[in-house]
Amino acid sequence: MREIVVATKNQGKMREIKSLLEDLGFRVTSLADYPDAPNIVEDGKTFAQNAIKKAVTIAFYTKKLVMGEDSGIEIKALNNRPGIFSARYAGENATDRKNNLKLLRELKNVPFKKRQARYRCFIALADTKGFLKVVSGSCLGLIEKRHRGKNGFGYDPLFFIPRYNKTFGELDPAIKAQISHRARALQKAKKVLQEY
């Protein structure tokens, strides 16, 4: 069975990616399976640059097909921050809770209708033979004024989807798996992997 290594240690991301790729017939592993893999500094200026760096670095380390992924949230009222700094918005080793609280503080005086947000995901697929493809997906919503729901991770309890009148934190994971930024990017990545 062919292996694809997902260049992440984030178990939340890994669960989502694994379930969305399970019908392709790849054995899906992560950096948890490669404890000696090099640590990747996410110093790109864009999500795409970070995704490519992860994919290429780990491909050369494992000599396998690798998926690098970088994603985050952009808030219109904050000039698209936190963006590429989403995971470390409240500091280098920030927890989801600390990041969420910082976001709520920064948006304290912003009315709900002006809290437009966009989750974005970029996926890079690379091997050591020169194969490199990048795809992306996004999902639009609003930032809630308080935490709602226990599902998901990251900013999910704050990311409100008007169509469902729920946050990602409240949404059924099966629905999120169809409409999220990561799901949309992974659908495109699946087409690339089928051709690969």
Read off the CATH number of the domain in which 145 is found. 3.90.950.10
SS (H, E, C) the chain: CCEEEECCCCHHHHHHHHHHHHHHCCEEEEHHHCCCCCCCCCCCCCHHHHHHHHHHHHHHHHCCEEEEEEEEEEEHHHCCEEHHHHHHCCCCCCCHHHHHHHHHHHCCCCCHHHCEEEEEEEEEEECCCCCEEEEEEEEEEEECCCCCCCCCCCCCCCEEECCCCEECCCCCHHHHHHHCHHHHHHHHHHHHHHHC
- Give the pLDDT of residue 82: 98
The structural domain count of the chain equals 1
Domain span including residue 71: 3-195
pLDDT of the residue at 19: 84
| Structure confidence at residue 20 (pLDDT) | 81
- Judge whether 36 and 92 are in contact, CB under 8 Å: no
Per-residue confidence (pLDDT) for residue 10, from 0 to 100: 86
Sites in the chain below the pLDDT cut of 70: none
Provide the whole-model pTM: 0.93
pLDDT score, position 164: 97
127 carries an active-site annotation: no
Strands 65-75 and 3-6: parallel
Q: Which of 33, 43, 70, 127 is catalytic?
A: 70
Decide: 66 and 127 in contact? Cβ < 8 Å.
yes
